[in-house]
Structure 1
Amino acid sequence: MYPLLTASAYASPQETRVIRHRFRTSVVCATLLAFGLGTLQGVASASAPPDTARASGTVAAIEDGAARSLAATLSDSAWRTRVREAALTSDEVGLGDLVGKDPSQAAKGFGSVVADADRELAEAKGLGTKAGPLLQLRLADESMREALRAGAEPLVAAAPADDGATTVTAYDSAGRAHALDAHRLPERPVYVVGVDAERAVTAGMAVLREELARNSLSTAGPVDSASAASDGFWTSRITSVRLSDDEEPWVKGDAEIFSLVTGFGQDGKVRVDPVDMPYLDEDGRTYYPNQILVNWSYYKYNLADVVMMEEDGSTNYRSLAKALADALLTIIDMGAYVPLVNAVLDAMPDDWWTDDPDYVDSWYTLARSSAGSFRGARGNGTMALEPYWVSAF
């Protein structure tokens, strides 16, 4: 259990937030003990193994702390039943809604942890105050439903930040940490606590557009809402898209994909248009979205590049926008098209290339006339495109 701390007058704002979070966690643990929901020794032993320890304030650390706290509350049988019913009823359960509807002391104590985690997650991901509740729970795999219904005691885990991790740390209601094989589905049910990626991407696209527009790299609003010629405009439409199977750990949920379309705007400056792809959940499956990818009325040349990214939980959208602005605003239109994929990739923070699989694939110099199937430069994705005229009438 975290030690009881007080904020120093010399603490930075970030340090003060960490101190307050630890204080609230201590209060919650004390509440759980008072209602017979655990032992002091059990809570103390809940720390993750050294090789999975994470820096405080990161998305992974916030998720891990929430998972540990939730596990401790599950020693309350009534609350445990409520959580089980919710997990069996819905594929994804918002933890804020769940604790708000339960009158138990366990739920009330855990509610303060959830509220703190939601605020910290929004800050860590650069989403501001408009993102809404982000923390959610899901059952790790459909095959675990039968055992959960039969009354098996679940473990609680957060997805590891590193897709190459060989173990997943999960907690039981006594506060003990269990190291699970990341690539072998456990027989015991596991709740996974993490970010609502769909909500995060939706909020993140708004942040990206706002920040890119502020830096003259885009216009505010969706990619397909630009003013165009009075009779309409040409676009490139995705008729099908498929990503390769990358054998992610069982603890990872569905992917949340978005793309950055880049080119030179009508003013000759580099522009970036984020495109949300919420349907693209699973690798190894072909989707047929008929989604507009490029609005050519935005661009000076009939060429553009596409970089496909994945929301993996740790993505900070405000930092991404700043990095793109810093890298792309220095590129000058020399009167001929220059591919921008490398500049976009070079703009990504170093830690995006160590553990987190944010970069999915890229497509260089797609033309307005491009038609047919196009495999990404990384070989991880394939898109079929067709020119599509959007009429103004």
Structure 2
Amino acid sequence: MFAGTKLRAALTGIVLSTLSLTTLQGTATAADFPDRTSSHAPTTGGSPVAAIEGATARALARSLAEPAWRRQLTHAALAQQEVDLLALTAKSGAGPVKGFRAALVEAEAGIAEAKGLGEGVPSLLRVGLAGQKVDESALASAEPLVASAPADDDAEVVVAYDSAGVAHELDAATAPQRPVYVVGVDGQKALAAGLEVIERELAARGLDSASPTAASPSTASAATGFWTTRIKSIGIADVKEPWFKSDAEIFSLVTGFGTDGKVRVDTVTMPYLDDEGTTYYPNQILVNWSNYKYNLADVVLMEDDGDTNYSSLAKALAAVLLTITDQGAYIPLVDAIIDAMPASWWTDDPDYVDSFYTLARETAGSRVGAAGNARMTVERYYVSAL
């Protein structure tokens, strides 16, 4: 999910702050969007994804000058929390919307490219209502603004646009009284597609990787069953996400040495880990021990910020992990994974959340992460064959 979800829950009606003098006239066209092929494409704090989101917000705001299209978006946003922009524009025949949709197709391609997702990715750009709860009559009487999340987690203002193209600076810590649409990327879909990219890239470079559940049994264990480590409960003190970003998209990298003696990386999605200071009870399998040579594995918890390029992440992981060889004894791999992700890659990096060193097959009970940010209770769990 994206910024509107947390904004809606956390913020109340406070008057919006000062106005910028920026004015953009006319209907939405491709000129509103950054050219992803140009070296002079506009960016937002060095963030290509944030730049595309911001341009989409500006173009969407200008397209809302068309009354029928504005009513269409109103009905969709009131009916569901997240609205697929590409799908919604396909249902409108209004001239300004056709121009917006043509540019939106390019924006979707730019998002996929910036995140290293390749072709064939489902549409990712979404919009939803934020701020105080409103109904259809309120949206009809007060023209909504359209915003996107800043690239900088510490930003003090959020820029939003009206249908005349005027830019309004909103306080990042409080909500405007006026209704606001927030444009963002569907984080769960992007993460799912990204982890598939990581698995393909690692496999192509000789690093074994299982499916995103990390629960696929090896051939040898499939007939009899296998031992796993299962998460009974888990909580995170800080999910590394401000209110104006999406809900936290947490995933784990489970690493160890595979049965062939090579480094193995299994990805595990944790879509339920949205809120900090909350304990969740997923009963989720974290480690499938039939896939590992030794009785130990490491777990690194990461949070996907918007600009994560999964192809680059996989290549960097492979470059580091391929240099580590089996010495006949278990070698912790957490530090190697963290070292593979230099902060210079992105302005908005995938955040390190916490790590658990040397998790054993026999480990049971409560464990606190090395950074003291995550706490989980695990148990041994045997998966029997059918």
Quick check: TM above 0.5? yes
Write the deviation string for residues 184-205 of structure 1: whole angstroms up to 9, x where unpaired. 1222222111111111111111
Please point out which of 202, 215, 219 is paired with 1:224.
215
CA shift, 1:135, in A, is 0.8
* Alignment-derived partner of residue 20 in structure 1: none
Instruction: Give the helix-richer structure, 1 or 2.
Output: 1
Measure, in 2, the Cα distance between the counterparts of 1:248 and 1:202: 19
* Alignment-derived partner of residue 171 in structure 2: 181
| 2:381 maps to amino acid | Y
- Structure 1: gaps of 5 or more residues: 1-29, 44-51
Measure, in 2, the Cα distance between the counterparts of 1:268 and 1:237: 24
* Alignment-derived partner of residue 268 in structure 1: 261
Q: CA RMSD in A?
A: 2.4
CA shift, 1:151, in A, is 3.1
Measure, in 2, the Cα distance between the counterparts of 1:102 and 1:224: 44
Q: Indicate conservation of the 8 Å contact 1:210/1:220, yes or no.
A: no
| 2:366 maps to amino acid | S
* Alignment-derived partner of residue 47 in structure 1: none
Change in Cα spacing, 1:362 to 1:354, as seen in structure 2 (3 Å) is farther
Please point out which of 196, 202, 214 is paired with 2:204.
214
| 2:216 maps to amino acid | S
Which is further off, 147-156 or 108-117?
147-156
Please state if 1:292 is matched with 2:282.
no
Write the deviation string for residues 100-154 of structure 1: whole angstroms up to 9, x where unpaired. 111211221110121111111111111111221111111234x333585463221
| 1:238 maps to amino acid | I
Segments of 4+ moved more than 6 angstroms? none
* Alignment-derived partner of residue 367 in structure 1: 360
Please state if 1:58 is matched with 2:48.
yes
Measure, in 2, the Cα distance between the counterparts of 1:257 and 1:246: 8
Please point out which of 134, 148, 153 is paired with 1:145.
134
Matched residue SS, 2:141: coil
* Alignment-derived partner of residue 97 in structure 2: 107
Change in Cα spacing, 1:338 to 1:361, as seen in structure 2 (3 Å) is same
CA shift, 1:55, in A, is 6.6
Measure, in 1, the Cα distance between the counterparts of 2:189 and 2:235: 23
Measure, in 1, the Cα distance between the counterparts of 2:258 and 2:51: 40
Please point out which of 128, 146, 152 is paired with 1:156.
146
* Alignment-derived partner of residue 249 in structure 1: 242
Q: Indicate conservation of the 8 Å contact 1:303/1:367, yes or no.
A: yes
Q: Indicate conservation of the 8 Å contact 2:297/2:357, yes or no.
A: yes
Change in Cα spacing, 1:99 to 1:353, as seen in structure 2 (3 Å) is closer
| 2:215 maps to amino acid | D
CA shift, 1:155, in A, is 1.3
Measure, in 2, the Cα distance between the counterparts of 1:193 and 1:150: 20
CA shift, 1:220, in A, is 5.2
* Alignment-derived partner of residue 119 in structure 2: 129
CA shift, 1:53, in A, is 5.4
Matched residue SS, 1:145: coil
CA shift, 1:274, in A, is 0.7
* Alignment-derived partner of residue 162 in structure 2: 172
Measure, in 2, the Cα distance between the counterparts of 1:386 and 1:339: 21
Trace 1:327-346 onto structure 2 (pairs within 5 A): 327-346=320-339
| 1:317 maps to amino acid | Y
* Alignment-derived partner of residue 351 in structure 1: 344
Q: Indicate conservation of the 8 Å contact 2:46/2:346, yes or no.
A: no
Please point out which of 362, 379, 386 is paired with 1:386.
379
* Alignment-derived partner of residue 194 in structure 1: 184
Higher RCO (C-alpha under 8 Å, 6+ residues apart) = 2
Please point out which of 55, 70, 84 is paired with 2:60.
70
* Alignment-derived partner of residue 35 in structure 2: none
| 1:387 maps to amino acid | R
Aligned residues: 348
CA shift, 1:355, in A, is 4.3
Change in Cα spacing, 1:55 to 1:186, as seen in structure 2 (3 Å) is closer
Trace 1:26-45 onto structure 2 (pairs within 5 A): 33=26, 37=27
Measure, in 2, the Cα distance between the counterparts of 1:100 and 1:116: 15
Measure, in 2, the Cα distance between the counterparts of 1:135 and 1:75: 20
| 1:144 maps to amino acid | K
Please point out which of 183, 189, 194 is paired with 1:204.
194
* Alignment-derived partner of residue 295 in structure 2: 302
Measure, in 1, the Cα distance between the counterparts of 2:92 and 2:107: 19
CA shift, 1:246, in A, is 5.4
Change in Cα spacing, 1:225 to 1:271, as seen in structure 2 (3 Å) is same
Change in Cα spacing, 1:347 to 1:174, as seen in structure 2 (3 Å) is same
Q: Indicate conservation of the 8 Å contact 1:84/1:148, yes or no.
A: no
Measure, in 2, the Cα distance between the counterparts of 1:353 and 1:103: 38
| 2:191 maps to amino acid | V
Change in Cα spacing, 1:273 to 1:92, as seen in structure 2 (3 Å) is same
* Alignment-derived partner of residue 16 in structure 1: none
| 2:357 maps to amino acid | Y
CA shift, 1:275, in A, is 0.8
- Structure 2: gaps of 5 or more residues: 1-23, 33-41
CA shift, 1:170, in A, is 1.3
Measure, in 2, the Cα distance between the counterparts of 1:375 and 1:353: 29
Measure, in 2, the Cα distance between the counterparts of 1:72 and 1:307: 43
Measure, in 2, the Cα distance between the counterparts of 1:297 and 1:247: 33
